[in-house]
């Protein structure tokens, strides 16, 4: 019975490998391929691609969040596994052989998935607005046992101004514990550390290089611990989720829509500042790194084309896909916006919709991934004057999400066995088949 460990590492570049001796040791005598992320090149869709072998038009994961039109609600970073509309590796493996054991460690849509053993962050949101550290685990009692041995999962180091190696180190230590206790035949582990410095300072910055070294040192502990848990070394598969590229420009789709009269705002007594009024807005954009979904209320072809026209030939946008054009990247799913905006390589998109910082909502200056109607990498920064998150999107120096145009935007897939990979140029959807091949499926 094979043991397969799939490490999902955002931001890992082929150029990083010479500085990663522990990772390179896995590749000695193994195989290596270019790995092309499928658009949109962001965490949730790419992880769903690898788990299902399908693209967003089939599995429905079109971004790192959703806008539910019927409820007029945004759901960012909270969705459970039921949002993936296709069977996943653990489901297929279990159907093939019910005795196979699987584990999921921190992939973002794993809550309630079919893996036998699961761990992922799930802080408790208290009535007073505070959070209590916790993780969702299967079995339920597992997190309490991990907490007693390793302390609480350091959520403050998983995202925000304090994001650092401590969160990935906890993931590794607890994964080694799970490998020893449960001995899974297939183990999927998400290691986020390279995401932080590359977005904050740029992928070629000294800080990003230091992060590469930190991750490799932590990988060394993972490799030693896992291999000690099994009679034979497992097959290691190390996959880049995407590559982070340098950016020097930011676009604001929601401000464009507001200035053109499509987006409306409202004020509430319990919220300081302006909020998007989803009830009355004729169009608004859920932004996610280098792309956004524009949701158009009156979705006839003429109206959709009017909205799309606002962005064509505007600086920072490489492609504007309206209606049926979304099928170019298999994004023609009912969860997608009527218009999809894709950034040029040097640009990214911010969710900001207010025109005056004095009217920004209170959550804009906090780490609040659930209430913001889009992804906000500025949460990696801290403004000592306001003791909060700054409102300066120009601080961001790295981004991702747009389709890869050249080799510099492609990642890498490493296998520790030479026969594990079927070619030298693979897509993220091919990872699914690479795993199943090891179990003769």
The CATH number of the domain holding residue 69 is: 3.40.720.10
Q: What is the dihedral sign for C-alpha 82, 87, 90, 91?
A: positive
Looking at the structure, do residues 233 and 353 belong to the same domain, yes or no? no
- What is the distance between the alpha carbons of residues 408 and 14, in angstroms, rounded to a whole number? 9
In a domain, 376, yes or no: yes
Looking at the structure, do residues 191 and 285 belong to the same domain, yes or no? no
Confidence of residue 269 (pLDDT cuts 50, 70, 90): low
In a domain, 357, yes or no: yes
CATH number of the CATH domain containing 330: 3.30.1360.110
In a domain, 128, yes or no: yes
Residue 270's pLDDT is 63
Mean pLDDT of 356-384: 95
Length of the chain: 441
Residue 437's pLDDT is 97
Looking at the structure, do residues 34 and 145 belong to the same domain, yes or no? yes
Task: Specify the DSSP element, H or E, that contains 121.
Answer: strand 117-121
Q: Can you give the residue range of the structural domain that contains 341?
A: 249-396
State how many domains the chain has.
2
pLDDT at 245 over 90: yes
Mean pLDDT of 111-126: 91
pLDDT digits (tens, 9 = 90+) for 315-340: 999 999 999 999 999 999 999 999 99
Looking at the structure, do residues 307 and 334 belong to the same domain, yes or no? yes
pLDDT at 37 over 80: yes
Longest C-alpha distance within the chain, in Å? 65
DSSP-derived secondary structure for 127-144:
TTS-EE--EEEESTTHHH
Residue 2's pLDDT is 87
Q: Is residue 240 helix, strand or coil?
A: strand
Looking at the structure, do residues 97 and 213 belong to the same domain, yes or no? yes
- Residue 189 phi/psi, 5-degree rounding, is -125, 125
Cα–Cα–Cα angle for 409, 411, 413, rounded to 5 degrees:
165
In a domain, 168, yes or no: yes
Q: Is residue 352 helix, strand or coil?
A: coil
301 with 323: CB under 8 angstroms? Answer: yes
Looking at the structure, do residues 162 and 291 belong to the same domain, yes or no? no
Look up residue 162 and give its DSSP letter. Answer: T
In a domain, 192, yes or no: yes
Mean pLDDT of 80-85: 96
Looking at the structure, do residues 420 and 335 belong to the same domain, yes or no? no
Residue 123's pLDDT is 83
In a domain, 202, yes or no: yes
With a CB cutoff of 8 Å and minimum separation 6, the contacts of 48 are 54, 56, 59, 61, 84, 86, 109
Confidence of residue 124 (pLDDT cuts 50, 70, 90): confident
In a domain, 401, yes or no: no
Looking at the structure, do residues 290 and 390 belong to the same domain, yes or no? yes
Minimum mean pLDDT range among 131-135, 152-156, 411-415? 131-135
pTM given for the model: 0.96
Looking at the structure, do residues 39 and 79 belong to the same domain, yes or no? yes
Top-confidence residue, 180 or 408:
180
Residue 129's pLDDT is 63
With a CB cutoff of 8 Å and minimum separation 6, the contacts of 71 are none
pLDDT at 268 over 80: no
Residue 221's pLDDT is 97
In a domain, 9, yes or no: yes
Confidence of residue 361 (pLDDT cuts 50, 70, 90): very high
- What is the distance between the alpha carbons of residues 119 and 105, in angstroms, rounded to a whole number? 5
Confidence of residue 97 (pLDDT cuts 50, 70, 90): very high
Residue 280's pLDDT is 97
Looking at the structure, do residues 89 and 190 belong to the same domain, yes or no? yes
Residue 241's pLDDT is 96
Looking at the structure, do residues 215 and 142 belong to the same domain, yes or no? yes
Q: Which long-range contacts (CB under 8 A, 24 or more apart) does 80-84 make?
A: 80/109, 80/111, 80/112, 81/109, 81/110, 81/111, 81/112, 81/113, 81/114, 82/112, 83/109, 84/48, 84/51, 84/52, 84/59, 84/60, 84/109
pLDDT at 127 over 80: no
Looking at the structure, do residues 238 and 264 belong to the same domain, yes or no? no
């Amino acid at each position: 019975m094979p043991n397969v460990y799939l490490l999902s590492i955002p931001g890992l570049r082929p150029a990083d490998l010479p500085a990663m001796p522990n990772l390179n040791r896995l590749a000695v005598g193994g195989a290596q391929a270019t790995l092309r992320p499928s658009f949109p090149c962001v965490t949730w869709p790419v992880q769903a691609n690898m788990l299902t072998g399908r693209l967003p038009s089939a599995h429905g994961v079109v971004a790192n969040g959703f806008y539910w039109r019927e409820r007029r609600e945004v759901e960012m970073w909270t969705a459970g596994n039921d949002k993936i509309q296709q069977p996943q590796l653990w489901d297929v493996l279990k159907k093939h052989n019910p005795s196979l054991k699987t584990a999921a460690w921190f992939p973002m849509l794993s809550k309630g998935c079919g893996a036998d053993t699961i761990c992922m962050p799930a802080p408790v949101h208290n009535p007073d607005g505070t959070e209590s550290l916790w993780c969702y685990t299967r079995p339920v009692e597992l997190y309490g046992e991990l907490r007693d041995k390793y302390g609480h999962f350091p959520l403050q180091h998983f995202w925000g101004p304090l994001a650092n190696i401590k969160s990935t180190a906890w993931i590794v230590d607890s994964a080694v514990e799970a490998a020893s206790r449960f001995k899974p035949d297939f183990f999927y582990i998400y290691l986020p550390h390279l995401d932080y410095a590359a977005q904050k300072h740029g992928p070629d910055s000294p800080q990003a290089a230091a992060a590469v070294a930190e991750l490799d040192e932590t990988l060394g502990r993972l490799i030693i611990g896992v291999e000690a848990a099994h009679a034979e070394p497992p097959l290691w598969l190390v996959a880049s989720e995407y590559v982070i590229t340098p950016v020097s420009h930011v676009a604001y789709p929601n401000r464009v829509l507001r200035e053109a009269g499509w987006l409306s705002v409202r004020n509430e007594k319990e919220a300081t500042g302006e909020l998007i009024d989803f009830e009355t807005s004729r169009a608004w954009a859920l932004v996610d790194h280098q792309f956004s979904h524009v949701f158009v209320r009156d979705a006839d072809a003429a109206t959709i084309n009017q909205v799309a026209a606002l962005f064509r030939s505007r600086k920072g946008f490489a492609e504007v896909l309206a209606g049926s054009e979304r099928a170019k990247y298999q994004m023609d799913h009912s969860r997608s916006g009527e218009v999809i905006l894709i950034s040029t390589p040097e640009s990214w998109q911010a969710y900001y919709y207010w025109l005056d910082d004095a009217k920004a909502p209170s959550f804009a200056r906090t780490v609040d991934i659930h209430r913001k109607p889009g992804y906000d990498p500025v949460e990696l920064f801290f403004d000592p004057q306001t003791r909060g998150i700054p409102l300066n999107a120009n601080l961001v120096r790295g981004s991702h999400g747009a389709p890869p145009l050249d080799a510099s935007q492609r990642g890498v897939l490493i296998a520790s066995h030479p026969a594990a990979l079927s070619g030298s140029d693979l897509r993220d959807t091919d990872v699914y088949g690479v795993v199943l091949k090891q179990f003769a499926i």
